[in-house]
Amino acid sequence: MRETPATPQTRSPDRSPDDFAVQIADQIESFIVAVTEVAKGDEPDSAVPFLLLEVSQLMLAGGRLGAHEDIVPDERYEPDTGPEPDVDELRMRLARLLDPVDVYSEVFDPYARSAPVPCRISDDIADVLTDLRHGMAHYRAGRVSEALWWWQFSYLSNWGPTASASLRALQSLVAHVRLDTPMDELDGLDTDSDAEDLRLEEEAGAVMAAEIAAPLGIKPNGD
Protein backbone atom coordinates (compact mmCIF):
# COMPACT_ATOMS: atom_id res chain seq x y z
CA MET A 1 0.00 0.00 0.00
CA ARG A 2 1.26 3.46 -0.87
CA GLU A 3 1.77 6.04 1.86
CA THR A 4 1.47 9.60 0.65
CA PRO A 5 3.67 12.41 2.00
CA ALA A 6 2.39 14.47 4.91
CA THR A 7 1.33 17.48 2.82
CA PRO A 8 -1.88 19.51 2.77
CA GLN A 9 -4.76 17.50 1.36
CA THR A 10 -6.61 18.59 -1.74
CA ARG A 11 -10.37 18.69 -1.98
CA SER A 12 -12.11 16.47 -4.49
CA PRO A 13 -13.09 18.73 -7.40
CA ASP A 14 -16.66 19.24 -8.58
CA ARG A 15 -17.75 16.86 -11.30
CA SER A 16 -18.88 19.53 -13.74
CA PRO A 17 -18.27 19.06 -17.50
CA ASP A 18 -15.58 21.75 -17.42
CA ASP A 19 -13.74 20.24 -14.47
CA PHE A 20 -10.19 19.01 -14.97
CA ALA A 21 -10.90 15.64 -13.34
CA VAL A 22 -13.99 15.02 -15.47
CA GLN A 23 -12.14 15.89 -18.68
CA ILE A 24 -9.20 13.63 -17.86
CA ALA A 25 -11.49 10.77 -16.85
CA ASP A 26 -13.53 11.17 -20.05
CA GLN A 27 -10.40 11.03 -22.21
CA ILE A 28 -9.14 7.96 -20.39
CA GLU A 29 -12.51 6.23 -20.51
CA SER A 30 -12.71 6.95 -24.25
CA PHE A 31 -9.30 5.34 -24.77
CA ILE A 32 -10.22 2.25 -22.74
CA VAL A 33 -13.47 1.74 -24.66
CA ALA A 34 -11.92 2.39 -28.09
CA VAL A 35 -8.92 0.10 -27.62
CA THR A 36 -11.14 -2.66 -26.28
CA GLU A 37 -13.26 -2.36 -29.43
CA VAL A 38 -10.21 -2.40 -31.71
CA ALA A 39 -8.93 -5.54 -30.00
CA LYS A 40 -12.15 -7.38 -30.86
CA GLY A 41 -10.86 -7.50 -34.42
CA ASP A 42 -14.14 -6.54 -36.10
CA GLU A 43 -12.31 -4.01 -38.31
CA PRO A 44 -8.77 -5.39 -38.71
CA ASP A 45 -8.03 -3.16 -41.70
CA SER A 46 -8.39 -0.08 -39.51
CA ALA A 47 -6.48 -1.30 -36.45
CA VAL A 48 -3.33 0.75 -36.98
CA PRO A 49 -5.04 4.05 -37.89
CA PHE A 50 -7.45 3.69 -34.96
CA LEU A 51 -4.65 2.96 -32.50
CA LEU A 52 -2.61 5.89 -33.81
CA LEU A 53 -5.59 8.20 -33.26
CA GLU A 54 -6.47 6.86 -29.80
CA VAL A 55 -2.92 6.88 -28.44
CA SER A 56 -2.41 10.40 -29.79
CA GLN A 57 -5.53 11.60 -27.98
CA LEU A 58 -4.52 9.81 -24.78
CA MET A 59 -1.17 11.61 -24.81
CA LEU A 60 -3.04 14.91 -24.63
CA ALA A 61 -4.53 13.80 -21.31
CA GLY A 62 -1.08 12.69 -20.22
CA GLY A 63 0.46 16.01 -21.14
CA ARG A 64 -2.16 17.82 -19.09
CA LEU A 65 -1.46 15.56 -16.11
CA GLY A 66 2.28 16.08 -16.48
CA ALA A 67 1.93 19.86 -16.65
CA HIS A 68 -0.44 19.97 -13.67
CA GLU A 69 0.88 20.71 -10.19
CA ASP A 70 1.48 17.68 -7.99
CA ILE A 71 -1.81 16.07 -7.04
CA VAL A 72 -2.14 14.87 -3.44
CA PRO A 73 -4.88 12.31 -2.68
CA ASP A 74 -7.30 12.81 0.18
CA GLU A 75 -6.43 9.53 1.89
CA ARG A 76 -3.05 8.69 3.41
CA TYR A 77 -3.10 5.10 2.15
CA GLU A 78 -4.31 3.91 -1.23
CA PRO A 79 -7.61 2.02 -0.85
CA ASP A 80 -7.75 -1.48 -2.29
CA THR A 81 -9.37 -1.54 -5.73
CA GLY A 82 -9.68 -5.32 -5.81
CA PRO A 83 -8.13 -7.67 -8.39
CA GLU A 84 -6.78 -6.09 -11.54
CA PRO A 85 -8.72 -6.98 -14.72
CA ASP A 86 -6.93 -9.52 -16.90
CA VAL A 87 -5.59 -7.96 -20.10
CA ASP A 88 -3.90 -11.06 -21.52
CA GLU A 89 -6.70 -11.79 -23.98
CA LEU A 90 -6.66 -8.20 -25.21
CA ARG A 91 -2.87 -8.34 -25.49
CA MET A 92 -3.02 -11.49 -27.62
CA ARG A 93 -5.79 -10.14 -29.83
CA LEU A 94 -3.79 -7.00 -30.54
CA ALA A 95 -0.68 -9.07 -31.25
CA ARG A 96 -2.60 -11.04 -33.89
CA LEU A 97 -4.03 -7.88 -35.42
CA LEU A 98 -0.62 -6.21 -35.64
CA ASP A 99 1.32 -9.22 -36.86
CA PRO A 100 3.92 -8.95 -38.41
CA VAL A 101 4.68 -5.36 -37.37
CA ASP A 102 4.00 -5.71 -33.65
CA VAL A 103 7.67 -5.72 -32.64
CA TYR A 104 9.68 -2.51 -32.87
CA SER A 105 12.89 -1.02 -31.47
CA GLU A 106 12.86 1.72 -28.84
CA VAL A 107 15.15 3.79 -26.61
CA PHE A 108 13.11 4.76 -23.56
CA ASP A 109 15.25 7.50 -22.05
CA PRO A 110 16.69 9.95 -24.61
CA TYR A 111 18.95 11.39 -21.89
CA ALA A 112 20.52 8.06 -20.96
CA ARG A 113 23.17 6.16 -22.90
CA SER A 114 21.26 2.99 -23.54
CA ALA A 115 20.93 0.60 -26.45
CA PRO A 116 17.60 0.19 -28.25
CA VAL A 117 15.45 -2.60 -26.89
CA PRO A 118 12.78 -4.67 -28.64
CA CYS A 119 9.19 -3.90 -27.64
CA ARG A 120 5.72 -4.90 -28.75
CA ILE A 121 2.91 -2.48 -29.46
CA SER A 122 0.44 -5.04 -28.13
CA ASP A 123 2.33 -5.26 -24.82
CA ASP A 124 2.52 -1.48 -24.59
CA ILE A 125 -1.20 -0.94 -25.12
CA ALA A 126 -2.12 -3.66 -22.63
CA ASP A 127 0.23 -2.23 -19.99
CA VAL A 128 -1.13 1.28 -20.48
CA LEU A 129 -4.67 -0.05 -20.18
CA THR A 130 -3.80 -1.71 -16.86
CA ASP A 131 -2.57 1.57 -15.38
CA LEU A 132 -5.56 3.51 -16.65
CA ARG A 133 -8.09 0.99 -15.39
CA HIS A 134 -6.51 1.06 -11.93
CA GLY A 135 -7.11 4.79 -11.69
CA MET A 136 -10.58 4.44 -13.19
CA ALA A 137 -11.55 2.04 -10.39
CA HIS A 138 -10.78 4.82 -7.89
CA TYR A 139 -12.62 7.39 -9.98
CA ARG A 140 -15.78 5.29 -10.28
CA ALA A 141 -15.70 4.68 -6.52
CA GLY A 142 -15.78 8.44 -5.97
CA ARG A 143 -12.12 8.75 -4.97
CA VAL A 144 -11.40 11.48 -7.51
CA SER A 145 -8.20 12.83 -5.99
CA GLU A 146 -6.82 9.28 -5.66
CA ALA A 147 -7.59 8.61 -9.33
CA LEU A 148 -5.91 11.82 -10.44
CA TRP A 149 -2.90 11.13 -8.24
CA TRP A 150 -2.53 7.64 -9.69
CA TRP A 151 -2.96 8.74 -13.30
CA GLN A 152 -0.42 11.54 -12.83
CA PHE A 153 2.12 9.37 -11.02
CA SER A 154 1.81 6.44 -13.43
CA TYR A 155 1.94 8.80 -16.43
CA LEU A 156 5.32 10.06 -15.29
CA SER A 157 6.63 6.66 -14.24
CA ASN A 158 5.12 4.14 -16.63
CA TRP A 159 2.21 4.63 -18.98
CA GLY A 160 3.45 7.95 -20.35
CA PRO A 161 6.78 6.61 -21.64
CA THR A 162 5.12 3.39 -22.76
CA ALA A 163 2.36 5.13 -24.69
CA SER A 164 4.88 7.58 -26.19
CA ALA A 165 6.98 4.69 -27.45
CA SER A 166 4.04 2.90 -29.04
CA LEU A 167 2.87 6.19 -30.57
CA ARG A 168 6.24 6.65 -32.28
CA ALA A 169 6.06 3.10 -33.60
CA LEU A 170 2.53 3.56 -34.94
CA GLN A 171 3.40 6.92 -36.50
CA SER A 172 6.52 5.45 -38.09
CA LEU A 173 4.52 2.57 -39.51
CA VAL A 174 1.97 4.90 -41.08
CA ALA A 175 4.78 7.09 -42.43
CA HIS A 176 6.51 4.10 -44.08
CA VAL A 177 3.29 3.26 -45.88
CA ARG A 178 2.17 6.76 -46.82
CA LEU A 179 5.63 7.78 -48.02
CA ASP A 180 6.11 4.45 -49.78
CA THR A 181 9.46 3.77 -48.09
CA PRO A 182 10.76 0.27 -47.33
CA MET A 183 10.95 -0.99 -43.76
CA ASP A 184 14.37 -2.06 -42.58
CA GLU A 185 15.01 -5.71 -41.88
CA LEU A 186 14.42 -6.57 -38.24
CA ASP A 187 17.20 -9.16 -38.12
CA GLY A 188 15.30 -11.44 -35.80
CA LEU A 189 14.39 -8.67 -33.36
CA ASP A 190 12.15 -10.14 -30.69
CA THR A 191 11.19 -9.56 -27.09
CA ASP A 192 11.87 -13.18 -26.09
CA SER A 193 15.59 -12.85 -25.34
CA ASP A 194 15.81 -16.36 -23.83
CA ALA A 195 14.48 -18.09 -26.89
CA GLU A 196 17.20 -17.78 -29.52
CA ASP A 197 15.51 -20.27 -31.82
CA LEU A 198 12.29 -18.25 -31.84
CA ARG A 199 12.60 -15.39 -34.28
CA LEU A 200 10.07 -12.81 -35.22
CA GLU A 201 8.19 -14.08 -38.27
CA GLU A 202 10.82 -14.48 -40.97
CA GLU A 203 9.00 -12.38 -43.45
CA ALA A 204 8.53 -9.42 -41.07
CA GLY A 205 11.91 -7.84 -41.72
CA ALA A 206 11.63 -8.09 -45.48
CA VAL A 207 8.09 -6.78 -45.86
CA MET A 208 7.85 -3.63 -47.90
CA ALA A 209 5.49 -0.81 -47.06
CA ALA A 210 3.44 -1.40 -50.19
CA GLU A 211 2.86 -5.02 -49.19
CA ILE A 212 1.54 -4.22 -45.72
CA ALA A 213 -0.54 -1.22 -46.72
CA ALA A 214 -3.68 -3.15 -47.69
CA PRO A 215 -4.07 -5.33 -44.58
CA LEU A 216 -3.41 -2.32 -42.37
CA GLY A 217 -5.97 -0.17 -44.12
CA ILE A 218 -3.50 2.53 -45.13
CA LYS A 219 -3.16 3.85 -48.67
CA PRO A 220 0.30 4.79 -49.97
CA ASN A 221 0.84 8.39 -51.05
CA GLY A 222 -0.61 9.15 -54.44
CA ASP A 223 -3.32 6.46 -54.44
For residue 81, name the pLDDT band (cuts at 50, 70, 90): confident
What's the rounded Cα separation, in Å, for the pair 66 and 91? 27
Residue 202 has pLDDT above 90, yes or no: no
Name the pLDDT band for 154 (thresholds 50, 70, 90): very high
Residue 106 exposed, middle or buried by CB count within 10 Å (0-12, 13-18, 19+): middle
What does the pLDDT average to over 144-150?
Answer: 95
The predicted pLDDT at position 220 comes to: 53
Most confident of 16-30, 74-88, 114-128, 147-161: 147-161
By percentage, how much of the chain surpasses pLDDT 70? 74
pLDDT band at 30 (very low <50, low <70, confident <90, very high): very high
**pLDDT at residue 191, as a whole number:** 55
SS3 82: coil
Per-residue pLDDT band at 13 (split at 50, 70, 90) = very low
Confidence of residue 110 (pLDDT cuts 50, 70, 90): confident
Question: Above 80 in pLDDT, residue 223?
Answer: no
Per-residue pLDDT for 9 more than 70? no
Local confidence band at 204 (pLDDT 50, 70, 90 cut-offs): very low
Alpha-carbon distance of 72 to 157, in angstroms, equals 16
pLDDT at 114 (0 to 100): 76
The Cα angle at residue 91 between residues 88 and 94, in degrees rounded to 5: 150
Distance CA 28, CA 62 (A): 9
Kindly indicate the confidence band of residue 62, based on its pLDDT and cuts at 50, 70 and 90: very high
Q: Quick check: 176 pLDDT over 80?
A: yes
Average pLDDT across the chain, whole number: 80
Give CB contacts under 8 A, 24+ apart, made by 107-112: 108/161, 108/165
